[in-house]
């Protein structure tokens, strides 16, 4: 039988344990198992935002744009190794919703003879809503599911299921889609900074994701876009903004898109938000995605063992190779449990109709958090 002493021993042996001290926590006793929705704030973020204010905005004023101008690309290059991308293939900008919108439009423009957009009927709402909105305006058909890829221009897919944490085989599904003539836009919102994903090795050409979950970028932190180098010169996106044009300060009469990853940029980026995102991404880069993923597997495996011990039902895959870094617990009284535990500083989140999600964010989640949190659910 697993006991709290077992969790304490695992924490003592954890090579990433020291990273938790580099984050702000509301109090030392909080049990935070929702880093898969919003990561904790790094202490460095507060320092960095103060630097940006004092040294750049307040002192440099407009002159600070000399080193702000390519900030979205620089932070993208910092993120790239965490997802198996190369330099110049990732840029931080705008929101996940906007970035899905851009890449789906870009993909259907590359497949003008195809009239179908494929997506799962139970994928994350943002992705489904964006796809439905695009289809309603372009006349494309929305097909739910991926068994039939005939006439599919683009498939929009999440690497990790936001409810159950089931993980897809990105390489196999990308190859299958490409063999049928379709493109794939991969959503890594629940994968980046949590599990090992090698976009290059998987043959993926298009991907998006957020930076406020496992990457600890802060609420509303900018999302990111990945486009493989070979596609960048030909990608056409639907919103033409001045940061994406070849010579933005020429203020020319017509839009001429850049040939690199910056062609998906829109207007002036949020420098403060980029600085916060950079701090969270830098911590993940320092820890290394292999170590982060290894701890994630251990945390979620420990959580599943506790589910078995306390007879809590979980739809999360038991094979660590095929799950992300949260564990779903199915309970008929899930909503009430999450609400009442939050009042006691034991923080999960709820997903309809009956899922409690226990997020295991490797840089901040302790094995004792997992033990205490699941024990609290068991005691209801």
Catalytic residues: 124, 187, 212-213, 357
Take residue 72 and report the two structure tokens written for it. 């979205």
User: Three-state DSSP class for 329?
Assistant: strand
User: Three-state DSSP class for 106?
Assistant: helix
Alpha-carbon torsion angle 7, 8, 10, 11, nearest 10: 120
* Helix%, strand%, coil% for the chain, nearest 5: 45, 15, 40
Residues contacting 124, CB < 8 A, separation 6+: 158, 162, 187, 189
Which of 46, 43, 78, 8 is closest to 363 using CA atoms? 43
Residues contacting 90, CB < 8 A, separation 6+: 76, 77, 79, 80, 83, 224, 225, 226, 261
Alpha carbons 351 and 360: distance in angstroms, whole number: 16
User: Three-state DSSP class for 35?
Assistant: coil
Residues contacting 66, CB < 8 A, separation 6+: none
For 161-188, letters b (16+ CB in 10 Å) and e give bbbbbbbbebeebbeebeeeebbbbbbb
């Amino acid at each position: 039988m697993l006991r709290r002493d077992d969790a304490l021993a695992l924490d003592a042996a954890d090579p990433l344990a020291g990273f938790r001290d580099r984050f702000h926590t509301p109090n030392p006793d909080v049990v935070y198992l929702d880093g898969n929705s919003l990561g904790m704030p790094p202490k460095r973020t507060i320092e960095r935002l103060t630097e940006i204010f004092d040294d750049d905005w307040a002192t440099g004023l407009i002159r600070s744009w000399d080193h702000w101008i390519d900030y979205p690309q620089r932070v993208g290059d910092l993120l790239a190794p965490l997802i198996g991308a190369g330099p110049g293939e990732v840029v931080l900008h705008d929101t996940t919703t906007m970035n899905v919108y851009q890449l789906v439009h870009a993909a259907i423009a590359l497949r003008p003879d195809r009239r179908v957009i494929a997506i799962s009927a139970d994928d994350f709402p943002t992705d489904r809503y964006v796809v439905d909105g695009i289809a309603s305006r372009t006349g494309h058909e929305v097909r739910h599911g991926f068994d039939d890829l005939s006439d599919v221009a683009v498939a929009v897919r999440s690497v990790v299921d936001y409810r159950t944490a089931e993980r897809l085989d990105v390489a196999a599904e990308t190859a299958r889609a490409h063999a049928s003539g379709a493109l794939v836009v991969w959503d890594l919102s629940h994968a980046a900074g949590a599990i090992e994903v090698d976009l290059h090795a998987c043959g993926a050409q298009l991907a998006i994701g957020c930076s406020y979950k496992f990457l600890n970028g802060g609420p509303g932190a900018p999302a990111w876009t990945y486009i493989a180098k070979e596609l960048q010169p030909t990608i056409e996106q639907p919103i033409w903004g001045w940061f994406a044009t070849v010579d933005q300060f020429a203020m020319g009469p017509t839009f001429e898109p850049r040939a690199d990853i910056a062609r998906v940029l829109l207007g002036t980026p949020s420098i403060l938000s980029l600085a916060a995102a950079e701090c969270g991404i830098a911590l993940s880069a320092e820890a290394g995605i292999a170590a982060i993923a290894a701890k994630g597997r251990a945390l979620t495996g420990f959580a599943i063992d506790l589910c078995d011990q306390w007879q809590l039902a979980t739809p999360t895959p038991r094979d660590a190779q095929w799950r992300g870094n949260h564990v779903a617990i199915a309970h008929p009284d899930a909503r009430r449990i999450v609400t009442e535990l939050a009042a006691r500083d034991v923080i999960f989140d709820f997903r309809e109709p009956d899922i409690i999600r226990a997020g295991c964010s490797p840089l901040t989640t302790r094995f004792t958090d997992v033990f205490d949190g699941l024990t609290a659910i068991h005691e209801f």
